[in-house]
Structure 1
């Protein structure tokens, strides 16, 4: 009998253990390469095992090979797998053949975050019901996620579904095409039926509450207007009293106060003025930072909507200049709708720089009232000239994320910001604080 010492036994165990470890590492590496890692992301869409239908197709091929080379009973498995594939592919298409529907909104206009209610009317002309329907689309494209799930649409019946609809961003909805999709019963493949849309929903940018507006918006040429200000004038509500000055009308003498102080005291009333605001908005995508609802571009549009709402509520005349569009000066409800509709319909791609907008005729000719230019620090570097008396609301693009063009430091800013936004996480609070400082400075 041959006796092995401890060192030989340990060496044999270590060799066996090293072999197992190498095999495990190799298997884990292959798993990481083929499943977990994304080295082949460009061919992921063509890998059959990543999809249920592809996996079943590979199972059918394996069953066919087994039936041919091993035993004929494997063909039973082939028949079963093939039946699942055929039913999963044909049934969704058949169930949508006789489906017709249209989507409509209860309101024509709404505001970001407020939303509205939508109604989906679906008619099924088959005697059998359709299950597992989903309304897809309505946002940026047709495949932008499910809006609402429908359990079943009964046969030979028209069914109406009502659901809340909250658009994620300002604009005109639905964007792209809305469609009903279903993958019932196995979810192997989804069929789709386009929907008609009755009317559209226009979503305005939301605005921020403002306490007051600065007196700098008052017209210097026209002293009499429709808006009363907290300063002495000849019309409006009672403002205060003061000693009589030669030339004051006797109708304005406050006789009880005059008798008390034994001298003539005159009542003062508020002054009326025409408030005039021009908003110049820079929406060139390359100078803004971030993407989606919280980008500097969308916040600039919301700030413009805030100024428009605040001044119109005070009876001001408001004029908007954005990209190649100029909404003429006006006031009232209909003008408010025109202005906010214009902001809601600003396209994703625009071409004019703030320099080109500032050199346009409506901006250069503005002389009477308050002119506010809303842009970013990168946009301001593209301006060659600045309008006389114009106020700048500047958003720091870098704080909102990357921009399409690299930052430029070769040119200083033309003007000192009237209000500056540097915190992307607290734009509303920072803007309101800056607005209060503007009011206190006046």
Structure 2
């Protein structure tokens, strides 16, 4: 893009002094003052020329990570190149912005100053901070500017350079009470002697899920069926789980609704990470966000990646959809899988107008993130929107 030059406030003051001297010399017909006004006019011309030439041929590249985690340190690098053969560049300011999708008014400024960029050289600068809210952030446009050498003019050049970064939910810490709850859930599943898992004797065939290893694919059976199937193996130490994230707001958004939504998503992400780390089972992830269908698969790193990306994008929804969420879970989830409902409000079957099926109450765990009882299972830290300096 072409270089744009504007005169700074100091430049206007300087120009006013020059014009005042020139006008006095002209009306008084003092040749010495005319010569003086011409001499002090030269910094204006020289400042305009050098400011234009400084940024005229500079190029800049942004090097952000592909993903980040909310609240964790984030580094974005900027590389400015100077292709000129002789003239260096001084005091170049690189300005950028990070805008959370659907929130254009909450742009976060990013700035880095390059004191000197040698001719035929390049310089790298790094902005360090932390994006404290999950979601997609879009960078750009980039702007290079300088007021070198006298600060009378500012020359700037704008580069589109659109890029984006996905900020994953912030992970908290599960307390020992959660581990005890999981052990109790496993102890209550003795009625199923042979559980599906990743090690043990042959149990049967089932459909292929994302995250299953290729070594477990039954190729002959898959060729006969025309769809991939895997060998299910016996395991007595795992239990499947369904993670339901209820972000519905039947009474409309509240003053603390954003905080509660972020807290619920963080809790769900932490539980999903714990289940996928332990492995040996199947995880279902369902939310009240109608844009996303249920996500299911064998607990693994691949499934965790998909779950984290899903949770990074879910939003709250108007109305009460918790009943539909539970009904959906009972349709897709195995009959003895544990169901974990994470909600942003006090919840009972009566609040959503549904009647739980027989046996569902025993395997349903409700976690209300608006209650102090949440800390019984989950340690979290609420953050405010924006970029936290590091």
| TM > 0.5 fold call | yes
Match of 2:12 in 1: 57
Q: Distance in 1 between matches of 2:241 and 2:340?
A: 11
Match of 1:343 in 2: 311
CA contact (8 A) 2:368 2:374 kept: no
Q: Does 1:169 align with 2:137?
A: no
Match of 1:235 in 2: none
Q: Is the partner of 1:297 in helix, strand or coil?
A: helix
Q: Using a 3 Å threshold, how does the CA distance of structure 1 residues 179 and 88 change in structure 2: closer, same or farther?
A: farther
Match of 2:300 in 1: 332
Match of 1:133 in 2: 92
Q: Distance in 2 between matches of 1:94 and 1:128?
A: 9
Q: Which structure: larger Rg?
A: 1
Q: Using a 3 Å threshold, how does the CA distance of structure 1 residues 222 and 84 change in structure 2: closer, same or farther?
A: farther
CA contact (8 A) 1:354 1:379 kept: no
Q: Using a 3 Å threshold, how does the CA distance of structure 1 residues 383 and 71 change in structure 2: closer, same or farther?
A: farther
1:8-23 counterparts in 2 under 5 A? none
Q: Does 1:300 align with 2:258?
A: no
Q: Distance in 1 between matches of 2:119 and 2:15?
A: 34
Match of 2:81 in 1: 123
CA contact (8 A) 1:115 1:165 kept: yes
CA contact (8 A) 1:280 1:373 kept: yes
Which of 35, 55, 58 does residue 99 from structure 1 map onto? 58
Q: Using a 3 Å threshold, how does the CA distance of structure 1 residues 207 and 328 change in structure 2: closer, same or farther?
A: same
Match of 1:32 in 2: none
CA contact (8 A) 2:134 2:170 kept: no
Q: Using a 3 Å threshold, how does the CA distance of structure 1 residues 327 and 65 change in structure 2: closer, same or farther?
A: same
Q: Does 1:182 align with 2:145?
A: yes
Match of 2:274 in 1: 310
Q: Distance in 1 between matches of 2:253 and 2:241?
A: 28
Unaligned runs of 5+ in 2: 1-5, 199-234, 380-390
**CA-based RMSD:** 4.5
Q: Is the partner of 1:167 in helix, strand or coil?
A: strand
Q: Is the partner of 1:128 in helix, strand or coil?
A: coil
1:406-417 counterparts in 2 under 5 A? none
User: 1 or 2 for the larger relative contact order (CA 8 Å, sep ≥6)?
Assistant: 2
Q: Using a 3 Å threshold, how does the CA distance of structure 1 residues 113 and 144 change in structure 2: closer, same or farther?
A: closer
Match of 1:404 in 2: none
Q: Distance in 2 between matches of 1:274 and 1:203?
A: 30
Match of 1:320 in 2: 285
Q: Using a 3 Å threshold, how does the CA distance of structure 1 residues 78 and 298 change in structure 2: closer, same or farther?
A: farther
Match of 1:8 in 2: none
1:345-364 counterparts in 2 under 5 A? 345-346=313-314, 350=315, 352-353=317-318, 355-356=320-321, 358-360=323-325, 362-363=328-329
Structure 1 residue 339: Cα displacement: 0.4
Match of 1:40 in 2: none
Unaligned runs of 5+ in 1: 1-50, 229-269, 397-419, 422-429, 437-442
More helix by share: 1
Match of 1:372 in 2: 340
Q: Using a 3 Å threshold, how does the CA distance of structure 1 residues 377 and 278 change in structure 2: closer, same or farther?
A: closer
Q: Distance in 2 between matches of 1:188 and 1:354?
A: 55
Describe the superposition over 1:118-175 as per-residue Cα deviations: whole angstroms up to 9, x where unpaired: 4433321223112222332242279733343322221123x25264644323546762
More strand by share: 2
Q: Distance in 2 between matches of 1:271 and 1:277?
A: 19
Aligned residues: 306
Q: Distance in 1 between matches of 2:319 and 2:192?
A: 30
Q: Using a 3 Å threshold, how does the CA distance of structure 1 residues 337 and 54 change in structure 2: closer, same or farther?
A: same
Match of 1:394 in 2: 368
Query: When the two structures are superposed, what TM-score results if normalisation uses the length of structure 2?
Result: 0.61
Q: Using a 3 Å threshold, how does the CA distance of structure 1 residues 113 and 280 change in structure 2: closer, same or farther?
A: closer
Q: Distance in 2 between matches of 1:334 and 1:220?
A: 29
Query: When the two structures are superposed, what TM-score results if normalisation uses the length of structure 1?
Result: 0.55
Structure 1 residue 305: Cα displacement: 1.0
Q: Distance in 2 between matches of 1:163 and 1:136?
A: 12
Q: Distance in 2 between matches of 1:72 and 1:132?
A: 41
